[in-house]
């Protein structure tokens, strides 16, 4: 299992113009492969801020994944900031330049702005971008791995699944499943959650989420596990879900079945 910090770079995230769906996408992909995202940050397009955040993120995790700031404009400065922050030379990577060239429209010139997308820290490897022009980047820095991807969701999504293979394969499998209960207060059920988690001594994690939909209040109880195998994870989660269902019904809750579960939470 690798621990991961995710840095999302771009003022638009801090103005509320853009909802950070990239974070949820990467977090889900990494978690489903048995890795653990321990921290995420949204950062301004300011070189000093990117450097401070990078150092914090590196102190928290074995791998740092960044999105945003790889494009041709003045405020795209992720790779330059990483180079500067880690004391590495930033220079045109010929492989990256080929990748940029290969994505240019027929007959288009290699301008300075386009060449900018081929600058990488020394020792880095470009990651091909099948959905856009700016290549991503993979950098091994001591024992740490840093990977950078574009902020455009379509491009990021095309690159993440394959790139996560650069992390050591996790020795753990992640599994989660939820039950949804009607007529049960989170505050009354919370001692049960405590007891169950103690009973399973850290092998499972139970999180309760109060939800509402169409004026109806529903309590989601989500059970998750990082286990040695997918089978063991499924078994642990199924066992504790059975206990949760029993106790919830004893307390007067009604377990919702598949079709009864609302699709749109408020």
Sites of contact with a second copy (CB under 8 A): 11-21, 23-31, 37-44, 49, 53, 56, 71-75, 105, 108, 111-114, 117, 132-133, 152-154, 176, 185-188, 190-191, 193-194, 197, 205, 207-210, 212, 222, 224, 266
Q: Which is nearer to a second copy, 56 or 138 (CB)?
A: 56
Q: Is 16 helix (H, G, I), strand (E, B) or coil?
A: coil
Strands 3-9 and 63-67: parallel
Q: Which is nearer to a second copy, 212 or 229 (CB)?
A: 212
Min CB(19)–a second copy separation in Å = 4
For a second copy, the closer of residues 11 and 170 by Cβ is 11
The single-letter DSSP state of residue 256 is P
Q: Shortest gap between Cβ of 155 and a second copy (angstroms)?
A: 9
Closest separation in Å from C-beta 123 to a second copy: 26
In whole angstroms, the minimum distance from the beta carbon of 58 to a second copy comes to: 14
Alpha helix (H) ranges present in 144-209? 153-163, 186-199
- Is the Cβ of residue 51 or residue 88 nearer to a second copy in the bound state? 51
- Our CB check for a second copy shows the closer of 153 and 262 to be 153
Beta strands in 70-197 (DSSP E): 90-92, 119-121, 125-127, 136-141, 144-149, 173-182
Cβ atoms 39, 6 nearer than 8 A: yes
Measure the CA–CA gap between 105 and 134, rounded to whole angstroms: 14
* Least Cβ distance, residue 127 to a second copy (angstroms): 18
- Considering beta carbons, is residue 22 or 148 the nearer one to a second copy? 22
- 72-106 core/surface letters (b: 16 or more CB in 10 A; e: else): eeeebbbbbbbbbbbebebeebeebbebbeebeee
CB of 41 to a second copy, least distance (A): 5
CB atoms within 10 A of CB 64: 26
The distance of closest approach from Cβ of residue 241 to a second copy in the complex, given in angstroms and rounded to an integer, is 16
Of 7 and 120, the one with the shorter C-beta distance to a second copy is 7
Burial (CB count within 10 angstroms: exposed 0-12, middle 13-18, buried 19+), residue 217? middle
User: Which long-range contacts link 87-91 to residues 24+ away (Cβ below 8 Å)?
Assistant: 88/121, 88/122, 88/123, 89/121, 89/122, 90/119, 90/120, 90/121, 90/122, 91/119, 91/120, 91/122
């Amino acid at each position: 299992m690798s621990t991961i910090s995710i840095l999302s770079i771009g003022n638009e995230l801090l103005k509320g113009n853009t909802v950070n769906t990239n974070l949820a996408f990467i977090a889900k992909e990494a978690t489903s492969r048995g890795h653990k995202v321990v921290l995420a940050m949204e950062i301004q397009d300011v070189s000093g801020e990117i450097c401070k955040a990078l150092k914090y993120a590196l102190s928290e995790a074995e791998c740092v994944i960044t999105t945003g700031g790889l494009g041709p404009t003045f405020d795209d400065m992720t790779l330059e900031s990483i180079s500067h922050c880690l004391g590495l030379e930033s220079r045109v990577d010929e492989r990256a330049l080929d990748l940029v060239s290969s994505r240019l429209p027929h007959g288009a010139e290699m301008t300075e702005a386009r060449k900018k997308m081929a600058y990488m820290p020394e020792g880095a490897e470009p990651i091909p971008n099948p959905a856009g022009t700016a290549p991503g980047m993979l950098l091994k820095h001591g024992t740490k791995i840093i990977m950078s991807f574009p902020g455009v969701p379509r491009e990021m999504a095309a690159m993440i699944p394959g790139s996560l293979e650069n992390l050591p394969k996790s020795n753990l499998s992640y599994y989660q499943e939820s039950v949804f209960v009607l007529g049960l207060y989170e505050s009354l059920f919370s001692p049960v959650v405590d007891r169950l988690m103690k009973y399973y001594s850290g092998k499972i994690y139970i999180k309760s989420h109060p939800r509402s939909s169409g004026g109806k209040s529903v309590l989601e109880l989500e059970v998750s596990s990082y286990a040695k195998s997918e089978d063991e994870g499924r078994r642990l989660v199924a066992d504790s879900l059975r206990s949760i269902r029993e106790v919830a019904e004893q307390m007067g809750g009604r377990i919702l079945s598949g079709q009864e579960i609302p699709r749109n939470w408020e």
